[in-house]
Structure 1
Amino acid sequence: MMTPFRNLLILATFAGLTACASTDPLREAASAPSDEPIVLMIGVDGLTADALDLFEAPNMQALANRGIRPEGMIPVMPSVTFTNFYSIATGLYPEDHGMINNAPFDRELNEGFVNPMSAQDSRWWAGEPIWITAERQGLPTSIMFWLGSEVEFAGDRPTRWTPYEHNKPYEERVEEVLAWFDGPQEERPRFAAVYFDLVDTIGHRTGANTPEVGEAVATVDRHIGNLVAGLEARGLLERTNIIIVSDHGMATNPEDQVIHFDQWIDLDTVYIPEIEGRGGNGFRPFLNVYGEPDAIDAAHQALQGAHPHMRAWKRGEMPDHFRFDHPTRGPDLFVLADPGWTMSARDLPLGSPWRSMGVHGHDSIDPLMHAGFVAAGPAFPEGTRPGLFENINVYLLIACILDLEPADTAGDPAVVSALTDGRCELE
């Protein structure tokens, strides 16, 4: 069982907040027992661990000043979006939740994940996301665009969920999130989540840490500020824990740093999802290779020492921290390029003439792949900079704040205690 967290919330306040009259209609609409914690998780795709050091982001910085901003958050492998936002939601490594990349191939099903259809196909999504844990224990949740939130888990869903709309304006996203807290009492979320893609999108176009990325950070920061202001206007900020998470960092890929892997791999003997399907051949940070043992052995042997910025491992021989060797989806051979390098098949046409100048998916322990994290609210000490931690701990952190009995995860209660300076303890 968890140490009850609610008593701390009665005493906790944010510095600088002023009292607001009880006749404020927004406050009346959102009124609820003041000792019930709320968690709002904001996903900012591609926000690097050092983004707040490089760019102006006054609203995120204000949250960091009155809360915590760790040195960074270590993504799971590979350091891509689907894999990591779902690990954040479930507290599991990809070897257990099954989302081993943005479009996994499953040997048993003999098919690959295809967006948007597979987003609502429960066969692809294992584990128990935090919103399902909350719903099963009586707490309403509202989720906008989080990976896995479109799926039914044994009959359970969030109270509110929304199919992904990439072009939904950010202003509308903010308005909709705030409107959740104006609804009927029984539907007002105790856990809510919303996702913004812009920083990642611009990083791919221009490369890491460019002025254009700074503009994207500023845009998202402005909308985060509007969310904070809306919660304050509703009298909810004092009991809301705002957690900003990212999925990965970003590295710039110069045009002359490409490894043509097909000079060592016979593409007629193996299946590589990264050069198939909608994306086709491009410039990839990693390759998942599937094939018969003889073909895999030949490719593995040919790749050993073939290029100083490329490494390859057979199934069962990968580094311990990779943790994506799923029973039916883990590759027979995994090929990985160093940050700043990508891999492409020279003898195949490119699937798209557009090329990413910014790339992620490299080794998760490389600092360039580390993700940003900021959190503020009654669960967090003021103005601290904890050390690096793995993102599989976020599920346990939220469960503890909301006083939920967690599902089995890979998270570490000691990390939760360190992030909250002992305010939240799991036994």
Structure 2
Amino acid sequence: FFSTPKGRHCEVHQMIGNYMWDQKTNLSFDIGVNKESLLPLWWNGSEPLWVTMTKEKKKVFMYYWPGCEVEILGVRPSYCREYFSVPTDKNFADAISDALESLRNGSADMAAVYYERIDVEGHHYGPSSQQRKRALKEVGKALSNMITLIKSKGLQHDINVLLFSDHGMTDISWTDKVIELKNYINMSDTIQMKDRGPVVSLWPAPEKHAEIYQKLKAVEHMDVYNIQNIPDRFFYKKGKFVSPLTLVAEKGWFIVE
């Protein structure tokens, strides 16, 4: 959600995931959960589109977009409808309607709306689930209504609409494709662990780093990287919040504590 509006890889803009830890300050970033996640510490690594536009005296309206409530590089958007919980389909429809009206009446030069239901249903039930498919159908309805609204407001020749998604998904099996780290290492030998799923960040106690690395290296269906060995194609390892060990599951597998 942050690489796209910034136009940069995460090792440049520093937002490497939804869950991060800064070892220097002992502060955590847990998206949508803790107040510390709103600190400029996490967000000031690069300039997102709405900040660039605001600096150019353009008016930007943001709806449910994570980070729009944060002062980034000293700048906030003209309007931010904060994300508190998963927006409902009605929230999404209302946001589209409000965004189009703000563009029509000149209140905004750009409007951005974040819709999370496809992501949520996919994470909970899998990308092939009926729940995820129903969510996509609801988006289709909302976009159809949006086109009708655009025409009714006479905006069809005046605005550009961009649709984008920030990641894909794959199905997993909870019964036989889960890697439990506690089965391979003593978790008390670690200082911090962030996230779970296909990618996990792990901070071993310094004196246990080599031992933990070797033990996890032997685990099947998972790659373990020291920072310097993270593949360049990830555009990840230069990030200042990257952990000493990064665990990457094989497609279809899931990593937990």
How many pairs align? 253
Q: Determine which of 37, 43, 49 is the counterpart of 1:125.
A: 43
* Counterpart contact for 1:134–1:141, Cα < 8 Å: yes
* SS, match of residue 148 in structure 1: coil
Unaligned runs of 5+ in 1: 1-84, 276-282, 346-427
**Deviations 1:242-290, CA, capped at 9 Å, x for gaps:** 1111111111111211122223323122133337xxxxxxx62222111
Q: Determine which of 54, 64, 74 is the counterpart of 1:155.
A: 74
Q: Determine which of 2, 8, 20 is the counterpart of 1:104.
A: 20
- Opposite residue 150 of structure 1, the aligned amino acid is E
Structure number with greater CO (CA < 8 Å, separation at least 6) is: 1
* Counterpart contact for 1:89–1:130, Cα < 8 Å: yes
For 2:124 and 2:203, how far apart are their aligned partners in 1?
30
For 1:173 and 1:199, how far apart are their aligned partners in 2?
12
The alpha carbon displacement at 1:96 in A equals 2.2
**Deviations 1:360-404, CA, capped at 9 Å, x for gaps:** xxxxxxxxxxxxxxxxxxxxxxxxxxxxxxxxxxxxxxxxxxxxx
* Counterpart contact for 1:119–1:148, Cα < 8 Å: no
Identical-residue share of aligned pairs (%): 25
Q: Which has the larger radius of gyration?
A: 1
Matched, 1:223 2:223: no
Structure 1 residues 344 and 152: CA distance shift in structure 2, 3 A: closer
- Opposite residue 342 of structure 1, the aligned amino acid is F
**Deviations 1:200-237, CA, capped at 9 Å, x for gaps:** 21112222222332211001111122222212211112
- Opposite residue 273 of structure 1, the aligned amino acid is M
- Opposite residue 246 of structure 1, the aligned amino acid is S
Q: Determine which of 56, 59, 83 is the counterpart of 1:137.
A: 56
Structure 1 residues 342 and 181: CA distance shift in structure 2, 3 A: closer
Deviating more after overlay: 290-299 vs 96-105: 290-299
Q: Determine which of 217, 232, 236 is the counterpart of 1:324.
A: 236
Q: 2:201 is matched with which residue?
A: 288
Structure 1 residues 258 and 162: CA distance shift in structure 2, 3 A: same
For 1:227 and 1:94, how far apart are their aligned partners in 2?
32
Q: 1:174 is matched with which residue?
A: 93
Q: 1:256 is matched with which residue?
A: 176
**Deviations 1:69-101, CA, capped at 9 Å, x for gaps:** xxxxxxxxxxxxxxxx01111112222222211
- Opposite residue 182 of structure 2, the aligned amino acid is D
For 1:259 and 1:230, how far apart are their aligned partners in 2?
48
- Opposite residue 68 of structure 2, the aligned amino acid is S
Q: Determine which of 175, 193, 196 is the counterpart of 1:273.
A: 193
Matches within 5 A, 1:185-200: 187-200=106-119
Query: So what's the TM-score if we normalise by structure 1?
Result: 0.55
